[in-house]
Structure 1
Amino acid sequence: MHANRAVKTDAAPVNVSELLASFKARKARIGIVGLGYVGIPLALTANKAGFEVLGFDIDAPRVDQLNRGESFIKHIPANLIAEAVKGGKFQATADFDRLNEPDAILICVPTPLTKHREPDLSYVENTARAIAPRLRRGQLIVLESTTYPGTTDEVIKPIFEATGLKSGEDFFLAFSPEREDPGNPDFGTSTIPKVVGGDGPDALALAEALYGQLIVKTVPVSSAATAEAVKLTENIFRAVNIALVNELKVVYAAMGIDVWEVIDAAKTKPFGFMPFYPGPGLGGHCIPIDPFYLTWKAREYDIATRFIELAGQINTRMPYYVVNKLAEAVDRNGRAFTGSKILMLGIAYKKNVDDMRESPSLKLIELIEARGAHVDYYDPFIPVIPPTREHAELAGRKSVSLDPKTVAAYDAVLIATDHDNVDYKLVVDNAKIVVDTRNACARAGIADGRVVKA
């Protein structure tokens, strides 16, 4: 296996033109490491474009499931995976010794935060160390995992070059941030422009050639670090603006003003305003995490990112605000919050998906039960809460049914996620009180004194 590797002085130069041609002719084999919410859509997109795809994952049961043509992600139909497997050009494997087979390896692994809100690059580093002993001359390696500027050059590249091979001559290294939005019916992997930055002109040209076959448009930038900064900028923009409307929600609520009505009126302005909406806290794999990657890296340059950190503080405090509003509503309805029973609608971090990564609902349950109340939940997309890093104690809890008798048995209903397939009229008609963090009832045309916005 290691016989494929050779130090540049002992071998002829890599034929970049030949590799470019194989990408453009869609004759190359693509390897994707990490078969999750990013890796699976990317694999299906590459397969649909005609490439042979080899997917890698350390989760052997997941690998077996995919090879049977089954899906574990709600918004990715099983028939798409089954068709790819049946066509003979998609295979999943847990055998990382096969990493020398692909012509391009795309890394799509998690980049979470530690308990101290610092970058956890263990998945990225472990993947790089798994690739390194199998790295062969002429391979393109692209990191897609969101991270701080400099990761590709400062973390990935040294691991690979420790093999004796040189980036830009023997192998080619690039960064192209994922831009997945799970459950978005308007944009998928192939229709969202792809930013690409390479370690040198050949790496950039190869990354452009590859993604040019998969994606509607590529957006080349001057370096991998610039591409890393683009991704962080996109998500920090959202985090800061969500923090703004969350703060406005608190201020306007104290004044008796409905922030959702304010935003709906403000967005009629055809310029100078972009609507963002408040919620019970941030969720998902990007927005609650990515800003802290930049704030951590900025400290290396002795720069304080006060604006970004303030936004993070506002957003992380929202579950506390919601629980206070819930407790007040229950108390005003003549019931002590301690000992009360709460039905939470939604465990997913956003509507219409089964994705609960970093979901604020988990924090809400923790805070509510810390104050002596009990929480059950209903989520049509998540029948059972899976194990999570920070809320392992909630694993195994099951969704209750949603019917008039069930709703009436609780002291309050808390709408944490506004799934479209929930009968909100049934909820309001049978609940003692409803605390709505998503404006779901108003959007459903329901005006009722039992609905409290939070």
Structure 2
Amino acid sequence: MSVDVTVIGLGYVGLPLVQEAVRAGLVVRGFDINGGVVDALNAGHSHIDDISDDELAEILSGGFEASTDEAVIADADTVVICVPTPLGEDGGPDLQAVEGSVHAIARNLTPGTLVILESTTYPGTTDEVVRPILEAGGLTAGTDFHLAFSPERIDPGNAQFGAKNTPKVVGGYTPECGDMAAAFYGRFVDTVVRAKGTREAETAKLLENTYRHINIALVNEMARFCHDLGIDLWDVIDAAKTKPFGFQAFYPGPGVGGHCIPIDPNYLSYNVRAKLGYPFRFVELAQEINTTMPAYVVQRAQDLLNEDARAMRGATVLLLGVTYKPNIADQRESPAVPVARQLLDKGADVRFHDPHVSSWSAFGDVVPCVPDLDAAVREADLVVLLQNHRAYDVAALAAASHRFFDTRGVAAPGDRVHRL
């Protein structure tokens, strides 16, 4: 059977892509080196928030199969790489998963194949890393096979925008490569946006998340001095966002998390330093501000306990919501981890509750999940809302708390309710 596309990496990026391609009638295969993930998917069990088991059943009924055998690459007209690119020790992207995927493609590359990299990385990766590996076997990009970059824009938990209706940026190694990639995505994505080339498409993704990173840092910095000046920043933002032009609301919080904001801007900063020899100062300052927010939250927590003549050491602190964003189970780079770690270092008895997490992978039994939320709130010396899951009745939780520290600006402030 001819395969339209093989997707390499079946996680938060790859699986939604598979879903839309199958819905459009494409013959789709998946490749992942994690045998547990592959077996679970083929058995109908999804491991990501955005794809339910019922939706996965529809995908499987559409003919999708996952495999750990790289031979599924050779059968495909198009191969899309959707593997993680975490930060390496040098501050740049760790490309081991990308390079491993590309080597697997190179071993199975046939003339006419379209290869697309979706994994976020620094500008130049497609041309400088991916292309040489693929061409080592004798085929030439732009002549014998097609090569393109199309940044993933998946926003886990977003009910409004998914893989189909989020515009797809595409940059080809050559204009013809771009044409092929645009035609491929046009089969199941509503809008395809052509970038000049692969470097422009790579940089577009980094610009999107650098913009968010810097603006989040701005309001995080404002949260600190507004608190010291007795100014309600949340009210300030509500007033400012009534302007119908020239302003986009961003909100402070206990830090930044997930697979994009804490990581992607560093790719750009790393690339600027490595290739040009000078810093990307906006990014580095934003990183400094955002990474110190957990410590600021812990300091505020200590100050609130002091108001009750309670030392941090031995105090019971209940953390609500430990995922990096609301209404999902994803814990990647969650700022709740450094908050909890610093509370523990100061001697606090830390506990947590999260409707999406039963066991906190970062701490195991050291930070237990409370079995009874209402009882835990009443017993805690301080309750800290780190993530505003829709399952929480914040007003009721705040009313039942001895002290309630809201880092998300959703509780009405009062004598015993305090906002970031």
Q: Would you call these one fold, judging by a TM-score over 0.5?
A: yes
* Secondary structure, counterpart of 2:49 in structure 1: coil
* Secondary structure, counterpart of 1:273 in structure 2: coil
Q: What are structure 1's unaligned runs of at least 5 residues?
A: 1-26
1:143 deviation in Å? 0.4
Out of 125, 149, 157, the position equivalent to 1:175 is 149
* Secondary structure, counterpart of 1:189 in structure 2: coil
For residues 61 and 425 of structure 1, what CA distance do their matches in structure 2 show? 41
Contact 1:404–1:426 (Cα < 8 Å) also in 2: no
Contact 2:253–2:408 (Cα < 8 Å) also in 1: yes
AA matched with 1:434: F
Contact 1:403–1:426 (Cα < 8 Å) also in 2: no
* Secondary structure, counterpart of 1:120 in structure 2: coil
1:37 lines up with 2:12 in the alignment: yes
Out of 330, 333, 353, the position equivalent to 2:305 is 330
Aligned residue for 1:136?
110
Out of 303, 313, 319, the position equivalent to 2:288 is 313
1:404 lines up with 2:374 in the alignment: yes
For residues 117 and 440 of structure 1, what CA distance do their matches in structure 2 show? 35
Out of 177, 191, 205, the position equivalent to 1:231 is 205
How many residues of Structure 1 are paired with residues of Structure 2 in the alignment? 418
Q: Residues 145-200 of structure 1: CA distance to partner in whole angstroms, max 9, x if unpaired?
A: 11110000001111111111110111111000011111111111100000000111
Aligned residue for 2:405?
435
For residues 161 and 246 of structure 2, what CA distance do their matches in structure 1 show? 24
1:453 lines up with 2:419 in the alignment: yes
Aligned residue for 2:261?
287
Contact 1:35–1:57 (Cα < 8 Å) also in 2: yes
For residues 330 and 86 of structure 1, what CA distance do their matches in structure 2 show? 55
Q: Provide the identity percentage.
A: 45
Q: Residues 407-444 of structure 1: CA distance to partner in whole angstroms, max 9, x if unpaired?
A: 112111111111111122332222111111001213xx
1:240 deviation in Å? 0.4
1:348 lines up with 2:328 in the alignment: no
Distance 1:182 1:395, change over 3 A: farther
Contact 1:383–1:398 (Cα < 8 Å) also in 2: no
For residues 174 and 402 of structure 1, what CA distance do their matches in structure 2 show? 51
- How does 1:13-92 map onto structure 2 within 5 Å? 29-87=4-62, 89-92=63-66
For residues 344 and 326 of structure 1, what CA distance do their matches in structure 2 show? 11
For residues 365 and 410 of structure 2, what CA distance do their matches in structure 1 show? 27
1:253 deviation in Å? 0.7
For residues 92 and 34 of structure 2, what CA distance do their matches in structure 1 show? 25
Runs of 4+ that moved beyond 3 A? 393-398
Aligned residue for 1:14?
none
For residues 396 and 222 of structure 1, what CA distance do their matches in structure 2 show? 51
1:203 lines up with 2:169 in the alignment: no
Out of 116, 119, 139, the position equivalent to 1:145 is 119
Give the RMSD, CA atoms, in angstroms: 1.5
Out of 255, 261, 277, the position equivalent to 2:251 is 277
Aligned residue for 2:195?
221
For residues 190 and 313 of structure 1, what CA distance do their matches in structure 2 show? 35
AA matched with 1:256: G
For residues 89 and 308 of structure 2, what CA distance do their matches in structure 1 show? 38
For residues 213 and 30 of structure 2, what CA distance do their matches in structure 1 show? 32
AA matched with 2:261: I
1:74 deviation in Å? 2.7
For residues 429 and 249 of structure 1, what CA distance do their matches in structure 2 show? 24
Aligned residue for 1:6?
none
1:402 deviation in Å? 4.3
Aligned residue for 1:424?
394
Out of 221, 233, 239, the position equivalent to 1:247 is 221
* Secondary structure, counterpart of 1:440 in structure 2: coil
1:264 lines up with 2:230 in the alignment: no
Contact 2:353–2:373 (Cα < 8 Å) also in 1: no
Q: What are structure 2's unaligned runs of at least 5 residues?
A: none
For residues 164 and 116 of structure 1, what CA distance do their matches in structure 2 show? 33
1:250 deviation in Å? 0.7
For residues 178 and 293 of structure 2, what CA distance do their matches in structure 1 show? 41
For residues 389 and 216 of structure 2, what CA distance do their matches in structure 1 show? 20
Contact 2:209–2:264 (Cα < 8 Å) also in 1: yes
Answer with 227-236 or 331-340: which moved more.
Answer: 331-340
For residues 58 and 164 of structure 2, what CA distance do their matches in structure 1 show? 18
Contact 2:6–2:72 (Cα < 8 Å) also in 1: no
Contact 1:74–1:381 (Cα < 8 Å) also in 2: no
For residues 171 and 184 of structure 1, what CA distance do their matches in structure 2 show? 35
AA matched with 2:266: F
1:28 deviation in Å? 5.2
For residues 101 and 395 of structure 1, what CA distance do their matches in structure 2 show? 46
Contact 2:92–2:271 (Cα < 8 Å) also in 1: no
